[in-house]
Amino acid sequence: MSLFNFFKIKTNLQTTPEQTIRSLIDDLPEYYKSHELFEECIDFLEHRDWESALVRLMELAYESGHYFSDDFWIELANATSKMKMTEYSQICSDQIKLTKSKINWEITKGSTVNKIDDTHYEHYYSQKIKDGSNEKRRTKDNLISFINEEGFHITGPNRSGTIYYILEGRVCEIFWELSNGLPFDISLFFDSLDSWTLPTKQLLTSVEKGEIKTKLLNWLKEKNIHTSI
């Protein structure tokens, strides 16, 4: 089925442009919500200027240089088609094609990807996804079985996983994925670590983050795991 026909079918759904905008905003990762274009989108939305709000949301995605999900662009295309904004519908179609040519997997709705190079990516997730997926991940990793054991614990036998660091009843989570390039075994998303996540979310101090990094590097060395940090 062509993208044009797919958009045409989807457009028949009884969803107003306002509902589409609010849904997309709800699924947008927090990373983008401090951007000036996002604030402008909200302002136009509250003033019932749907066209300008849609354009600002589209510009936000485009100017970020990040890759958004097909669902994001399809829903935008639906709304712009209903509002007879033909040129913007084509932009949405072009963005889907661009993503497919640059990213070789399907980006989950409510998430985005920043491609750093051919082997390194940054992933951003909406709070809604985080709240649901984090609980599933922790259950799958059987966190409860070692939550009282202080130190580092690595999970995820496939291409990605989590390193849990436990200290005095608190837990922070460091995400990793296999590195496709030597000499590294795994790539760590350590820079994105900013909080203890359990039992309640609490921001890490710069001192705490530095101490965790030092301990983590020593632990990885003991495990003979090579990393990019």
pLDDT in tens, the chain (229 residues): 344 444 444 444 567 888 899 999 989 999 999 999 999 999 999 899 999 999 999 999 999 999 999 999 999 999 998 899 988 989 999 999 999 999 988 898 899 999 998 888 899 988 877 777 788 889 999 999 999 999 999 997 678 899 999 999 999 999 988 876 556 788 888 988 989 998 888 899 999 999 999 999 999 999 998 887 7
Beta strands in 32-184 (DSSP E): 67-68, 111-117, 120-125, 151-155, 160-167, 170-178
Give the helix/strand (H/E) hosting 203. Answer: strand 202-203
Evaluate whether 13 touches 78 at the Cβ level (below 8 Å). Answer: yes
187 three-class SS? strand
The answer for residues whose C-beta is within 8 angstroms of residue 97's C-beta and 6 or more apart is 3
Report the candidate in 157, 106, 169, 162 with the shortest Cα–Cα distance to residue 136: 162
Segment holding 44, helix H or strand E: helix 36-46
pLDDT of residue 6: 47
DSSP 8-state symbol, 227: B
Per residue in 186-213, is it b (16+ CB within 10 Å) or e — as a string?
bbbbbeebeebbbeeeeebeeeebeebe
- pTM recorded for the entire structure: 0.57
Find the distance separating the first CA and the last CA of the chain, reported in whole Å. 44
